[in-house]
Amino acid sequence: LLTLSIYKGGKPTIGSVGKEYYYHRDYVSAKEHLEEFVIQYPRHSNLHRAGKYIEECRRKIPHQLVKEGMSFDERSLTEKAMAKYREARNLTFDENLIKSLDDRISQIAQKNMRDAENMMSLGESDSALEVIVKTAVYSKEAQKYIPRFRGRAYLNEGEKAKNAGFYEKALELFEKAL
């Protein structure tokens, strides 16, 4: 993918830039650049080699994404980690990787549901419901809990309205909870 002009001080092609990304293990960027190379130079002599690099990138990208997700996980940036895990899950065909990603995604969902339960106990029903709804995007178990959390949120709001003397509003909220 390197052209002779590079060795003589010329400008590198997008293919040589893609190859550099590949050797630096940034397979996402490498694939983008190499695919652009194929489009820009459809008759280039290194087109076959670029195709091989693109296929290797496709195979290695999920693993790169998992590593990035783990890095986010270590820094307690769970939402960013989850995005990387889900992206890797959608791109891989490796059964072992799929299973480990499913397990990690399930662990994160369980933690989020426990956090939502704690929020609900503290009377933070809106925040708890928000966490459950976000978690339900990738967890079927969390989807089942949405009605329960909505009901509890209405009960909490009904209690607040009752304590403030708004009995009619409290009854309306209690009815919604049912």
Average pLDDT across each block of 10 residues of the chain; the chain has 178 residues. List them in order: 53 87 94 94 89 94 96 93 94 93 94 91 86 90 87 84 86 83
- Non-local CB neighbours of 159 within 8 Å, separated by 6+ positions: 170
Judge whether 30 and 22 are in contact, CB under 8 Å.
yes
**Structure tokens that stand for 149 in this block:** 């959390």
Question: CA-CA distance, 146 to 96, in Å (whole number)?
Answer: 31
pLDDT at 51: 93
Question: CA-CA distance, 164 to 119, in Å (whole number)?
Answer: 22
Query: Locate tokens 């590198």: which residue?
Result: 12
Q: What is each CA distance from 89 to 17, 46, 108, 137, in whole angstroms?
A: 27, 31, 15, 14
- Non-local CB neighbours of 70 within 8 Å, separated by 6+ positions: 81
Helix residue spans in 92-177 (DSSP H):
95-121, 125-136, 140-163, 167-177
Longest dimension (CA), the chain: 84
**Structure tokens that stand for 173 in this block:** 């909220």
| Closest to 120 (Cα-Cα) out of 108, 107, 131, 134 | 131
**Structure tokens that stand for 100 in this block:** 């480990």
Question: CA-CA distance, 29 to 15, in Å (whole number)?
Answer: 11
Confidence (pTM)? 0.72
- Non-local CB neighbours of 18 within 8 Å, separated by 6+ positions: 1, 29, 30, 31, 32, 33, 34, 36, 37, 50, 53
